[in-house]
Structure 1
Amino acid sequence: MSANGRPMSGAVVNGVDFERWAVVLCKPDAVARGLTNRILEMISDTGVTVSDRMDVVAQPWQPHVVYRDMLADTGHRNLRNLPAYIDAAYANQTVTVALAHGGLGIHAKLRQLIGHTDPTRAVPGTIRGDLGDDSLAVANAENRLIRNLVHTSDDPSSARREYGTWWGPGRRLLESDFDTCSVILCKPDAVERGLVDAVLERIAAAGVTVRLRVDVTVQPWQAHVHYWDLLVDADYFPDRDIPVCLDDAYAGKKVTVALAYGEPGIHARLRQLIGHFDPTRAAAGTIRGDYGNDSLEAALAEGRLVHNLVHTSDDPDATRRDFGTWFGAGRRLLLTSPSGVPLQPTHADR
């Protein structure tokens, strides 16, 4: 901390070394032209790891912070109109941001890769040179910002500032959130039997913080993504038509999802708490053991999936996938780790 109590502007914050991390901003024109995937692929092709991609509807303050040096430059010839140009280009427009991880010198490497500010002056092989379709001359004539697709952090200080701008100040990298976060899925049978509150209360009573409860009407793709392993290994279940079983059990049905926060190891703890997938084999004191009323034997006889009330993510990778499936990949800002947040359900049918 500085003498006035404000954070220092060093390159390392909360364990994030911005000497080796850069922020990639795919601008509104890149999103509008459907070039975001291509841009991130061109960055990845240089050996840089790209992660934590997130779509954001830009609030006016965010591009103001990104362009702070230009806005504060008293010698900038378009200073009078620049705020209006920035607002017109960004406010309430969708951008895509991502993190790029590489070695020392990543910022200069990426700046070289994206190319000159004016795409007409960017050399072939650069992102702006290969994909750009605008020019500074045209932009000046039309009194607007130039459309040049992408921005990357200039240096470690810029990376830190831009990380706080797009992901939230003081945030840890999202990978670490999945180590201490799990998705809870209260299945259709839990909803139909009125057991959602009881299930979430049991999880919260285990010392886990439960928040961001959301009611969802299941689309078929969500069940397919969630149970991808059953679909891929369907030949192991010759007694059931797995695609049909999934659609019958989930499509158009109500489920409730929530996020659970705890210490590393939360995934194993929750899997132990919910109990064996066959409720008749789940121990007393587990959720399925105490509340389950179905059996694998009955499910097999009826050619369906077993009704076992609840799922929690198996591990951090499963949490990432489950979060995107049930909350939406574009809502990662929900993942900010709480501190002592009580169970406060919120409902939003999607």
Structure 2
Amino acid sequence: MSRKPPSGAVVDGIDFDRWAVILCKPDCVERGLVQRVLDMIRASGVTVTDRMDVVAQPWQAHVVYRDLLAEAKRAPRDLSTYLDEAFADRPVSVALAHGEPGIHAWLRQLVGHTDPTLAVAGTIRGDLGDDSLSVALAERRLVRNLVHTSDDPDAARRDFGTWFRDGDCLADPVFERCSVILCKPDAVERGLVDAVLDRIGAAQVAVSDRLDLTVQAWQAHVHYWDLLVDADWFPDRDIPACLDAEYADRPVTVALAHGEPGVHHRLRQLLGHFDPTRAAAGTIRGDLGDDSLAAALAERRLVRNLVHTSDDLDAARRDFGTWYGARRRALLSPLSPPRQRTSVDT
């Protein structure tokens, strides 16, 4: 079966009002209930296509449950550990659901209450669930409730990018040679984007596919998921609020950097220390930065340090999905000859 959606609408990001992602969780797979769950969804009048069986990576669960990770008052302190135990390196099945506008609310009703013991008969969790929230709390884990579907069109777009990447990309060597450059709002507002990209391009790296965009809040949350997970390290700051203040609805520029294996480490060295006052001369932040960690702490905000590049090949894969999306996968083809900072259509 094709790993691509049957219509260009999903890939083009046009029709997420009518599309949702179905995630059959590890307990559903282990109990052999995936087909029954998908059949119940089909029987409700929803078209189900493109089933894909995958092994979940930790970041995928973090992204799917980013809202809980960001709301420390509503989630247990060790939620990230619970997520890793429930999902990391365990099999899941995902599929696409297509229907009328409002499909997301309809599916959530069909799935039923989070706690299977409170889910009514006729719902998936009510009929097939065998766990309870009280048992999960007693055992300090997540409740096993079989299935998740996208909450709304924005969540469907995010879920699609999380799970429905090209099936071969997990082993795709392109990310060993490709990094994502994020010129942050302070770089844009100070008019330094060209200077930053020129510095990177001069370091034997081909810079291509520049894209100017306005950040959606979820992109900042996914990009900085590690800050959200480790919010306890920053007791003096509200990390979700800081991310929204620095990024949401503000302009950034992204581009791709192509080089030899090891490009991620070399670019991070070129950027310099995250605190511009500690970045060495000759680095981008050392030469162009005008903020400091001390000032950021005093003002209870994030430090403004101009630019980010992907930490490693896994981060590059995630960054590409966050900022470029599945429909721009073709941009990852090898550059021949290298194209310098060409624009892409938004």
TM-score, length-normalised on structure 2? 0.54
Give the direction of change, closer, same or farther, for the CA distance of 1:187–1:28 in structure 2 (3 Å limit): closer
1:198 aligns with 2:195: yes
Structure 1 residue identity aligned to 2:227: L
- Distance, in Å, in 1 between the alignment partners of 2:52 and 2:330 is 13
1:249 aligns with 2:249: no
- Distance, in Å, in 1 between the alignment partners of 2:343 and 2:230 is 36
Shift of 1:215: 0.3
What is aligned with 1:317?
A: 314
What is aligned with 2:325?
A: 328
Structure 1 residue identity aligned to 2:298: A
- Distance, in Å, in 2 between the alignment partners of 1:197 and 1:178 is 24
CA contact 2:2–2:50 (8 Å) conserved in 1: no
- Distance, in Å, in 1 between the alignment partners of 2:340 and 2:183 is 16
Q: What is the percentage of aligned positions where both structures have the same residue?
A: 63
What is aligned with 1:222?
A: 219
Give the direction of change, closer, same or farther, for the CA distance of 1:98–1:276 in structure 2 (3 Å limit): same
What is aligned with 1:239?
A: 236
- Distance, in Å, in 1 between the alignment partners of 2:222 and 2:336 is 31
- Any idea what SS the aligned residue of 1:277 has? coil
What is aligned with 2:59?
A: none
Shift of 1:345: 3.0
What does 1:88-103 align with in structure 2 at a 5 Å threshold? Answer: none
Which of these residues, 187, 190, 194, is aligned with residue 184 of structure 2? 187
Shift of 1:100: 8.9
What does 1:125-136 align with in structure 2 at a 5 Å threshold? Answer: none
- Distance, in Å, in 2 between the alignment partners of 1:302 and 1:203 is 30
Shift of 1:330: 3.0
- Distance, in Å, in 1 between the alignment partners of 2:340 and 2:265 is 21
- Distance, in Å, in 1 between the alignment partners of 2:23 and 2:279 is 48
- Distance, in Å, in 2 between the alignment partners of 1:241 and 1:25 is 39
- Distance, in Å, in 2 between the alignment partners of 1:224 and 1:218 is 10
- Distance, in Å, in 1 between the alignment partners of 2:241 and 2:20 is 36
What is aligned with 2:266?
A: 269
Shift of 1:327: 0.8
Give the direction of change, closer, same or farther, for the CA distance of 1:25–1:100 in structure 2 (3 Å limit): farther
- Distance, in Å, in 1 between the alignment partners of 2:187 and 2:23 is 42
Shift of 1:298: 0.6
1:199-228 C-alpha deviation (Å, 9 max, x unpaired): 001001000010000001011101111111
What is aligned with 1:207?
A: 204
- Any idea what SS the aligned residue of 1:345 has? coil
- Distance, in Å, in 2 between the alignment partners of 1:100 and 1:273 is 36
CA contact 1:23–1:100 (8 Å) conserved in 2: no
- Distance, in Å, in 1 between the alignment partners of 2:176 and 2:283 is 23
CA contact 1:25–1:98 (8 Å) conserved in 2: no
Which of these residues, 284, 293, 303, is aligned with residue 290 of structure 2? 293
CA contact 1:179–1:265 (8 Å) conserved in 2: yes
- Any idea what SS the aligned residue of 2:324 has? helix
Give the direction of change, closer, same or farther, for the CA distance of 1:24–1:298 in structure 2 (3 Å limit): closer
Structure 1 residue identity aligned to 2:173: S
Shift of 1:25: 5.6
1:178 aligns with 2:172: no
What is aligned with 2:257?
A: 260
1:343 aligns with 2:340: yes
Shift of 1:339: 2.7
Shift of 1:264: 0.8
TM-score, length-normalised on structure 1? 0.53
- Any idea what SS the aligned residue of 1:231 has? helix
Gaps of 5+ in 2: 31-48, 56-96, 98-165
Give the direction of change, closer, same or farther, for the CA distance of 1:340–1:285 in structure 2 (3 Å limit): farther
CA contact 2:181–2:257 (8 Å) conserved in 1: yes
Structure 1 residue identity aligned to 2:230: D
1:118-151 C-alpha deviation (Å, 9 max, x unpaired): xxxxxxxxxxxxx9xxxxxxxxxxxxxxxxxxxx
What is aligned with 2:303?
A: 306
CA contact 1:217–1:255 (8 Å) conserved in 2: yes
CA contact 1:178–1:316 (8 Å) conserved in 2: yes
Give the direction of change, closer, same or farther, for the CA distance of 1:337–1:281 in structure 2 (3 Å limit): same
- Distance, in Å, in 2 between the alignment partners of 1:25 and 1:302 is 46
Structure 1 residue identity aligned to 2:323: W
- Distance, in Å, in 1 between the alignment partners of 2:270 and 2:237 is 28
Count of aligned pairs:
214
1:69-108 C-alpha deviation (Å, 9 max, x unpaired): xxxxxxxxxxxxxxxxxxxxxxxxxx9698999xxxxxxx
Give the direction of change, closer, same or farther, for the CA distance of 1:28–1:207 in structure 2 (3 Å limit): closer
